[in-house]
């Protein structure tokens, strides 16, 4: 299993998000407590919005805990929106092009979970990707495939619908090949302004997913919390596992739901696959 | 451009093939004289037949000249058939899964050249790959695509025909998209017993390719050549560029031809693309 | 903490030692059960005796569990004596020159543990290394420093005495700087014929260390054990943690002792630091 | 041989310095024209001053031309002072800790050249490094050794004198061992405000070194030069080889001299080794 973390809010030093928390995403790459594997050492990636029109990506196959360049760069970057992911491979090669987040134009995408039977399904899934989008696929993971299917089905116009149709397609093709429980996922995707998160599995056993409560509530609960001095009022963190044990700060995202995080607000809605036709 | 080297003959230390020659393949990774680029530092790979039924592969994105493990391992390996390749990327990522040689079962494949317009053609080419073979594709190069197309068209039963149909398909699909001169290639492929080599380009500008003459002739020309003590009577070397400047030892493989190297014999035949239908 | 494994016996496929056991050293790089850390992902190394007069070394900073070349090479190597080590850094950089085993001439050395206060002691320790040996130091670890100190104090002539004086020196210099409990170690070293192992810590809290019992006894206990078909009568395995849970097969090496493994025999003796003067 | 580049002036995007020039430092890593080797593929490093009190370092053993993360990060960084270096190893391992620039506190240091006989001299040189500074040495290069010797001899208070004494020491110790022409160097070092450059070799065969002329003069010569729109009036570039062929823009730094670059000014002075005692 993988672990990921997304931040939205006032510009903050990437270092504060990646390295300072007690159980940071970097710590989770080595000592994950909630995932199927304790270690996520098959590569990592950080995507953030800064200069220019498209997000920057720093990805590497080196384990996150020992990457010195990540530490150096994180100390130099301020950003209002950041994605970070540490990877455990579910079979595909450990290479930079298979590290998350994936990028297409202004969009970023990261995923924890798997498409069961991806080896058998891959050809059909690749053929369902829009011909104009297909050349943008760089790696060989099920995660990137899901992303490009979502893009094919209109992620950029209606993200929940695009993802719902992508999942619907995978499930339909899996049924045809008698593959059960094909989809397990917690996904985060963003256009740099809004973050959409998804927690869904065909058989209902998704990885964990939490969203931080509103900053005003966090301040009420923990007025002396040192980190609050660096976080603005609109700060939201979405995580595979909490960065720190603080009761009342983390709300679990339910199974079969999606969330929309924007300008400090967080709304949850039901999520169901859609027919892709 | 890339450089490659193939050896067939009595078992020989891999170190003697890779590191000893004056202008070895390792030296060519840094100081190529005949290629479009002097440096081939986007990864390397060595495949050889030893224990077991399938060949072993040592591939890495580290430049060949500085890889210590390659040196160490090469000193420990004896083999009757070895492929070695140093890579210059023509656009696809530098990652182990994009290094040559590629392997499928007992087969190895390596390539110098490119499929022009591969970005546009890739989807069609991938769809032409046999559905049972498709999951075996690990990387994203045109070289690996050509290999799997050749396998689809019967490489394992009739290698020249398989390659001819693969090239024919690429050229047909390229014409449809008004891509000119789509194929440039020197290719070596083997099942561990015989090596088939190909030199062909749609527009006739293939990379260089040479085959060593029969050992008996080499000995007549250069009776004191020190390396001959390590080479048996059936030794044959096929190279992108000569390992050493020795007139009479290297015979250029003509454009639009293929060769068959087996048990010390080397035969050249004309090569032309075939319709793939 | 690190994990290591040493084998001595009839030639055996490296693959059988590194990958087949239920809880192999490769598995221990990801799921160590007895060490201070569950993961040892800061690099790995394998040293073995084969062709030539000096042992071969395959070392890499990539985590052992995902290194494809290791798998490929291990399937091609037979050896009567092999060292394997997976590393957790105690502060020095993750780089190939800091991976174990270390090599000097025919000697290999690997270490689990640390020299506390190495940062303060390093200069004095380096100055104690024989001037002729000093240029052979490639990395920056305490483990390599211990090795070269042992070599300085006569490892090649009398291994237990060489190591005892090296440890004695470290403890003496540490006392001068009021560093307590400076040495923690389990060490294996070999000249390619005999393996010497050491389990010692100034404060008596060494990492775990086990040696397999005589093959004849293993066969008596587990006559149907499949792996026995590949192991000869002289096979001995020395491990940081058992490769498989088989009561009666693994004997713990006591604290403050050293062992000598040769031609299937294994003798334990007390170990104490010696004055280095 | 290596290649390096230093920039001082108004804040500029790192991408504009590293990637845009016709013959950028990245291009020089692959196609150097003036150095002893055309390729500098044994690692690269970029150091720059931005947030915080110490400079940031991005260093890697991957060849600079294919490092995607470098490209991504360079597009996100603005800096008034940047060092960049591409490496060809003169014998020491290819590892991040051996890539330039080296850092100590606020200081950066990079070097093109070598200390001949470093293998024999290293122990004596290391012993001459101040005991308090010694633990800061991470790698194994002659370049880093020169840096720490210069620091030992007062680089932070009087850079030219510190470097002169360091060189003097090396030459004195080399004479003792009958090593001729021990030092070849072009060096750049900075505290984040001023850059000191050095061009000196015992035998007078230093690598090439050029400094750009004052921006006002460059504008007079080439009023339409597109890049000028991004460069402020105080911009200065110091390079191993010119980034672009523009007569009148590059002034060669003479042998046996040092330069001081600060606030757009550039002064050259004679450089001679000093006794280190």
Interhelix angle D159-176/D118-128, nearest 10 degrees: 130
More confident residue, A161 or A22: A161
Mutate to test the interface with A, among D61, D73, D74, D83 (most CBs of A within 10 A): D73
Instruction: Give the minimum alpha-carbon distance from A201 to chain D in angstroms, rounded to a whole number.
Output: 33
CB contact under 8 A, C66 and A94: yes
Pick the range with the lowest mean pLDDT from C227-231, C264-268, C270-274, D86-90.
C227-231
Output the pLDDT for position C36.
65
Catalytic residue among C2, C146, C211, C231: C2
Question: What count of Cα atoms within 13 Å lies in the side-chain half-sphere of residue D100?
Answer: 34
Q: Do C177 and C199 form a contact (C-beta atoms < 8 A)? A: no
Nearest CA to A238 out of A177, A202, A196, A179 is that of A196
CB contact under 8 A, B96 and A97: no
Chain B residues whose CB is inside 8 A of the D72 CB are none
Q: Which helix (H) or strand (E) holds D267?
A: strand D265-270
Q: Do B72 and C58 form a contact (C-beta atoms < 8 A)? A: yes
List subunits contacting chain A, requiring 3 or more Cβ pairs under 8 Å. Answer: B, C, D
Tokens encoding C73: 């090479």
Beta-carbon neighbour count of residue C178 at 10 Å? 8
Mutate to test the interface with A, among B98, B102, B140, B177 (most CBs of A within 10 A): B140
pLDDT(C1) > 80: no
**pLDDT tens-digit profile, chain D (277 residues):** 799 999 999 999 999 999 988 888 888 888 877 766 777 889 999 999 999 999 999 999 988 888 999 999 999 999 999 999 999 998 899 999 999 999 999 999 999 999 999 999 999 999 999 999 999 999 999 999 999 999 999 999 999 999 999 999 999 999 999 999 999 999 999 999 999 999 999 998 899 999 999 999 999 999 888 888 888 889 999 999 988 889 999 999 999 999 999 988 999 999 999 986 6
Give D4: exposed, middle or buried? Use CB within 10 Å, 0-12, 13-18, 19+: buried
Chain C residues whose CB is inside 8 A of the A36 CB are none
b/e map of C58-91 (b: 16 or more CB within 10 Å)?
bbbbbbbbbbbbbbbbbbbbbbbbbbbbbbbbbe
CB contact under 8 A, B96 and C52: no
More confident residue, B48 or C30: B48
Give A7: exposed, middle or buried? Use CB within 10 Å, 0-12, 13-18, 19+: buried
b/e map of B122-134 (b: 16 or more CB within 10 Å)?
bbbbbebbeeeeb
Alpha-carbon gap, residue C22 to C5, rounded angstroms: 14
Output the pLDDT for position A231.
87
Tokens encoding B271: 């090569």
Domain CATH number, residue A136: 3.60.20.10
- Answer yes or no: is C144 within a domain: yes
- Answer yes or no: is D276 within a domain: no
CB contact under 8 A, C138 and D140: yes
- Answer yes or no: is A204 within a domain: yes
Alpha-carbon gap, residue D95 to C67, rounded angstroms: 18
- Answer yes or no: is D277 within a domain: no
Instruction: Give the minimum alpha-carbon distance from B201 to chain A in angstroms, rounded to a whole number.
Output: 24
- Answer yes or no: is C31 within a domain: yes
Mean pLDDT of C189-215: 95
Alpha-carbon gap, residue C239 to C109, rounded angstroms: 14
- 3-class secondary-structure state, position C111: strand
Among the partner residues B93, B131, B135, nearest to A138 by beta-carbon distance? B93
Tokens encoding D117: 């006989």
Number of C to D CB contacts under 8 A, please give it: 38
ipTM > 0.90 for the complex:
yes
- 3-class secondary-structure state, position D64: helix
pLDDT digits (tens, 9 = 90+) for A45-81: 999 999 999 999 999 998 888 899 999 999 999 999 9
Q: Do A142 and A119 form a contact (C-beta atoms < 8 A)? A: no
pLDDT(A90) > 90: no
In percent, the amount of chain A with pLDDT more than 90 equals: 78
Output the pLDDT for position D277.
60
List subunits contacting chain B, requiring 3 or more Cβ pairs under 8 Å. Answer: A, C, D
CB contact under 8 A, C39 and A42: no
Mutate to test the interface with D, among B35, B68, B94 (most CBs of D within 10 A): B94
Alpha-carbon gap, residue B115 to B87, rounded angstroms: 15
Mean pLDDT of A186-201: 98
Range of the domain at C238: 3-270
Nearest CA to C38 out of A29, A30, A1 is that of A30
A219-233, B22-36, C126-140, D212-226: which has the highest mean pLDDT? C126-140
Instruction: Give the minimum alpha-carbon distance from B89 to chain D in angstroms, rounded to a whole number.
Output: 9
- Answer yes or no: is C61 within a domain: yes
pLDDT(A117) > 70: yes
Instruction: Examine the residue annotation and report whether B2 is marked as an active-site residue of this protein.
Output: yes
Nearest CA to C15 out of C53, C69, C61 is that of C69
- Answer yes or no: is D99 within a domain: yes
User: How many domains does the structure of chain A reveal?
Assistant: 1
- Answer yes or no: is B225 within a domain: yes
CB contact under 8 A, B135 and A126: no
List subunits contacting chain C, requiring 3 or more Cβ pairs under 8 Å. Answer: A, B, D
Scanning chain D, the segments in alpha helix (DSSP H) are 14-18, 25-31, 68-74, 118-128, 142-152, 159-176, 215-221
Mean pLDDT of C51-57: 96
Mean pLDDT of B130-142: 97
Output the pLDDT for position A193.
97
Chain D residues whose CB is inside 8 A of the A77 CB are 76
pLDDT(B163) > 90: yes
CB contact under 8 A, A123 and B131: yes
Mean pLDDT of A149-155: 98
Mean pLDDT of A106-130: 97
Chain D residues whose CB is inside 8 A of the C127 CB are 127
| Pairing status of strand D236-239 against strand D107-115 | unpaired
């Amino acid at each position: 299993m993988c672990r990921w973390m997304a931040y939205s809010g006032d510009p903050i030093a990437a270092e504060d998000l990646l390295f300072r928390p007690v159980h940071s995403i970097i710590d989770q790459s080595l000592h994950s407590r909630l995932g199927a594997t304790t270690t996520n050492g098959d590569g990592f990636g950080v995507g953030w919005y800064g200069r220019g029109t498209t997000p920057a990506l720093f990805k590497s196959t080196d384990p996150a805990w020992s990457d010195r360049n990540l530490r150096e760069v994180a100390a130099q970057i301020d950003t209002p929106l950041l994605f970070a992911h540490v990877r455990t491979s579910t079979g595909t090669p450990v290479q930079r092009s298979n590290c998350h987040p994936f990028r297409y134009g202004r969009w970023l995408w990261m995923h924890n979970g798997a498409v069961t039977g991806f080896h058998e399904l891959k050809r059909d899934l690749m053929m369902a990707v829009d011909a104009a989008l297909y050349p943008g696929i760089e790696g060989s993971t099920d995660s990137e495939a899901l992303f490009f299917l979502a893009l094919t089905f209109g992620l950029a116009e209606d993200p929940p619908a695009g993802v719902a149709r992508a999942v619907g397609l995978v499930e339909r093709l899996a049924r045809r090949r008698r593959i059960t429980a094909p989809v397990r996922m917690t996904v985060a995707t963003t256009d740099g302004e809004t973050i959409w998160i998804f927690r869904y599995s065909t058989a209902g056993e998704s990885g964990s997913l939490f969203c931080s409560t509103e900053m005003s509530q966090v301040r009420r609960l923990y007025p002396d919390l040192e980190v609050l001095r660096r976080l603005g009022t609109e700060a939201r963190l979405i995580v595979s596992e909490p960065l720190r044990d603080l009761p009342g700060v983390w709300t679990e995202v339910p199974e079969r739901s999606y969330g929309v995080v924007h300008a400090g607000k967080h709304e949850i809605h039901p999520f169901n696959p859609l027919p892709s036709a």
